Structure 1
Amino acid sequence: MATANTPPSSAVRLTQYAALDIKGADAEKFLQGQTSAQVSLANGTFAPLTCFCTPKGRMLANGQLLRLGNDHFRLILDTSLADTLANHLKKFAAFYKAELSLAASVTFAGASQPLDAMAEHLGITLPEQPYTHVTSPKGTALRMPGSPRWLFMFEEDAGSLVSSDEALQNAWQLADIRSGLAWLTDAQQDHFLPQMLNWEALGGISFKKGCYTGQEVVARAHFRGQVKKRLVHASIHATTLPAIGEPLHDENGKSMGEIVSSAFSTEQEVELLAVMNTKVTEEALPMYWQQKPITLHPLPYPVERLDPEQIAAQLA
C-alpha cells in the first residue's frame, strides 16, 4: 500500500485534472456571466479559484482560472466534470464570440519542491506566490493555494521528467486535504453550495462582481448566514479509503455529513475532507465512519470571507 512517505524528488503525473480552454474575442465577457470569479483578475499572473453553479447556487464544477493570452483562458478542473461542464457552457457560448475545447494533449504533473529540471524544460522561472502562474509555449507552472506545491501543465508529454509513482500521487492528494482544498467530482455535482466547500474562505467567490448564474443564491447564503454545512478536515484509523459520498454518522446513527476526498497518511491512517453539519464542530459531537471514530483537525485557514480582489492586491 502506498503512503505519503516517499520523498517528493520528482514530479508525479496527475490524471485527475483536465484543462478546458475558452478562447475568443468575447471569452472574458462570456465567463464573467457564468463563473464566481472576477474574470478580469485573471491577468496572466494571478489565477483565481472559481466555480460554476446552477441557478439554485449548487456547484457544477470548481477549479482555477488562468489567462494564457489576451483572448485565451484555461480552466483547471476535475477530469470527471470536464465534458459535462463544457457541454453545459457551450449552450451559452453560442451567443458570444467564444469557443470551448478540452486541451486533451496537456499533461499534468505536480511537485512539492521547486524542481529546476521542470523550470528548465518549460523555459521559465517558477512562480513563488500561491495563486500565481508562469506560462511559456511549452507549458505552465502554477503555484497552488495552501502548502508549497507546483502544478505543471505540459503542452506535450514531459516524458522522463514525470513519474507515475502511486505514493507521490497519494501525497499530492494528502496535501490537498491538509490545505483544506476540495475538488468537486461528478459524484457530487449539483450537490453543494460553494460555501459548503469553504470556497469563499479560499478566495473562490467574488462578492464584488455583477451577476453570474447562481449568484443571487450564493450571495444570500453568505449575507444571511444560511450555510449549515461546512468542509472539515478529519482522520480515521483505516486501511482502506472511504468512497466519495459515503456518510458520516453521529453516535445515534444519524447521518451528519459525507466524504469529499481521502488519502493515506500512513498505512493504517486515512485523512479526509468531508462536508459536515456545523452542529458537529459547534457542539463537539462524536462522529463515525463505518463505526470507526473520527478525529477532527483544524483547517489551515479561517472559515471567513476572503475576497479574491484582496489576494490580487497583495500580489501586485
Structure 2
Amino acid sequence: MKPDWKNFLEHAGAEFEDLAVASFGNAERELRVTTTGDVLCDLSHFGLISAYGEDATDFLQGQFSNDVAQVDAGHSQLNSYCTPKGRMLANFRLFKPGDTYYLRLPQALIEPTLKRLRMFVMRSRVTLENADDALTRIGWSGPNAATELSTALGGADIPETPDETLSHDELSVLRVPGIHPRFEIYGQLEAVQRLWDRLNVHGAPVGAACWGLLDVLSGIPTIQPQTSEAFVPQMANMELIGGVSFQKGCYPGQEIVARTQYLGNLKRRMYRIHVDLNEVVPGQEIVDAAKGESGMVGRLVEGFRHPDGGVEGLAVLQIQSVEDAADLRLGTAKGPRVSVSPPPYPLTADTD
C-alpha cells in the first residue's frame, strides 16, 4: 500500500490490522449498514499482478481456466489458476484497462502466484510484476450505489451488468456481482482520493471484512492460502459464475476440469452456510456428526460476521450430505452446527 494512500485512509478514520482496514472506528455500525446501505471500502487487502508484452494474451490464455481473449477495456472476468491435477492454486478477477492485464487476488497469494507464473514464461515476450502500487483500489456498494457513482463521476455512464467495465479519465470502473449494485474502482492515487471524498458524503466507509461478507452473500469464493489446491473450479461453482471456459485451448488441469464437467461426476458443490460463532478460519473442516471424527464432508472457503448474528460463509460440501440433511458441524463432530442454504444462483449451468 502506498504510504500516501494509507495516510489518506488514516486521516479518514481507518484503523488497520495486518495491513488491511479493520474498521473506521465503529465496526458494529459498519457491519449493520453493509447489507442495507451504501458502503465504501478500501481494497488494498487484495493485491495486483500485472502482465504485459507482445505475448501477454497468449501466455495467460495457456495458464488460466477462462478465455482471456474475452477480457478487454469493456469486460473483466473471474478466472482461476490450477495445478496439473485441476486444483485451484488461486482465483481472481482479471481486467485490462489498457495494454496491461491485472490479476486481483489476496495479498498473501501474490508472490506464490507470481513465482509460479514466471516459471513458465520461457521465451514468451511477457513481463509479470507485482503491481501493488500501480493502481489504488476501492469498492462501492449499496442500493443507491449506481446513481451516486454516476453523479460522483460527473454524470458519466457506469457499467450496468456484472463483468462490464468502463473507463473514466484515470479510473477503471468494474461492475461485480452483489446483493446491491456493486463496483470495484481502480486508478491513480489522486483520482481515487477525489472519488473517495465525493462518495464518502453519501456512504459509510467500512472495513475489509464487510467487503468479504458481500462476496459471500453474492456466492463469490476467494481462494486463500489455507484453501489453495483444495478445490477443482467446479467444486467452488466457478463455472456457474463465469470463471471457466470449456471452449478454449489447453491450460494446466484442463483435462480434469473438462472431464469433471462432461462426465457429470461432481460430488461436491459450494453452498452458503451459517455458524453461530463470531469468527471462522478458511479451510476448516466440516464433518457429519453421525459419522464421528472420520466423517469429513467438506471444507470452509471463507466466512464473515453477519449483522443478524453469527458467521455467514461459503463451504464446499458433499452434495449427498446436503441432500440428506446431515447433521453438519464445524471442526469436529461436537463443534457448532452448520446450517446450509443454496447460493444466490442455480447450481446447474450450460457449458459455454
Task: Please say whether Structure 1 and Structure 2 have the same fold, judged by a TM-score greater than 0.5.
Answer: yes
The one-letter code matched in structure 1 to 2:183 is W
Matched, 1:242 2:271: no
Specify which of 149, 153, 163 is matched with residue 182 of structure 2: 149
SS of the residue corresponding to residue 92 of structure 2 reads strand
Tell me if the contact between 1:202 and 1:306 (Cα under 8 Å) persists in the aligned partners.
Answer: no
* Local SS of the residue matching 1:276: strand
Please tell me whether the aligned partners of residues 51 and 60 of structure 1 are also in contact (alpha carbons under 8 angstroms): yes
CA distance in 1, matches of 2:300, 2:77: 25
Identity across the alignment (%): 29
1:268 CA displacement: 3.0
2:163 maps to amino acid: Y
* Structure 2 portions without partners, runs of 5+: 1-26
Give the one of 108, 111, 114 matched to 1:80. Answer: 108
2:91 & 2:70 partners in 1: Cα distance? 17
Q: CA deviation at 1:123?
A: 9.2
1:196 and 2:240 correspond: no
> Does 1:107 pair with 2:131?
no
Deviation at 1:257, TM superposition (A): 1.3
- Structure 1 gaps of 5+ residues are 310-316
Deviation readout 1:189-212 (Å, 9 max, x if unpaired): 122111111101111110011111
Residues 125 and 102 of structure 1: CA distance in aligned 2, closer, same or farther (over 3 Å): farther
Is 2:80 aligned against 1:43?
Answer: no
Q: 2:82 aligns with which of 46, 49, 53?
A: 53
Letter of the 2:209 partner, please give it. Answer: N
- Give the aligned partner of residue 285 of structure 1: 326
What CA deviation, in whole Å up to 9, does each residue of 1:18-75 have, x standing for no partner? 2211101111111111111111111221212111111111111111221222x42112
Q: 1:129 aligns with which of 157, 161, 176?
A: 161
What amino acid is the match of 2:214? A
Q: Judge conservation of contact 2:51–2:127 (CA < 8 Å) in 1.
A: yes
CA RMSD of aligned residues (A): 2.4
Larger fraction in helix: 2
Q: Which amino acid aligns with 1:43?
A: D
Out of 96, 110, 131, which is 1:67 matched to?
96
Instruction: Write the mapping of 1:1-316 to structure 2, written as runs, cut at 5 A.
Output: 2=28, 4-6=31-33, 8-69=37-98, 71-105=99-133, 106-112=135-141, 113-114=145-146, 116=148, 120=152, 125-147=157-179, 148-156=181-189, 158-159=192-193, 161=196, 167-238=206-277, 240-252=278-290, 253=292, 254-266=295-307, 268-289=309-330, 291-307=335-351
1:127-148 CA-to-partner distances (Å, cap 9, x unmatched) read 1111111124522111002432
CA distance in 2, matches of 1:184, 1:120: 33
Distance in structure 1 (CA, Å) of the matches to 2:339 and 2:48 = 35
Between the aligned partners of 1:119 and 1:192, the Cα distance in structure 2 is 41
Contact kept, 8 Å, 2:92 with 2:104, in 1: the verdict is yes
Aligned-partner Cα distance in 1 for 2:340–2:78: 25
CA distance in 1, matches of 2:130, 2:350: 30
Q: Distance in 1 between matches of 2:325 and 2:117?
A: 41
Residue type of the alignment partner of 1:298: P
Contact 1:124/1:135 (8 A) holds in 2: no
Taking a change above 3 Å as real, the CA distance of residues 80 and 255 of structure 1, as seen in their structure-2 partners, is: same
TM-score normalised by the chain length of structure 1:
0.88
CA contact (8 A) 1:203 1:306 kept: no
Q: TM-score, normalised by structure 2?
A: 0.80
Q: Is the 8 A contact 2:40 2:206 kept in 1?
A: no
1: distance between equivalents of 2:126 and 2:147?
A: 36
Q: Which amino acid aligns with 2:281?
A: A
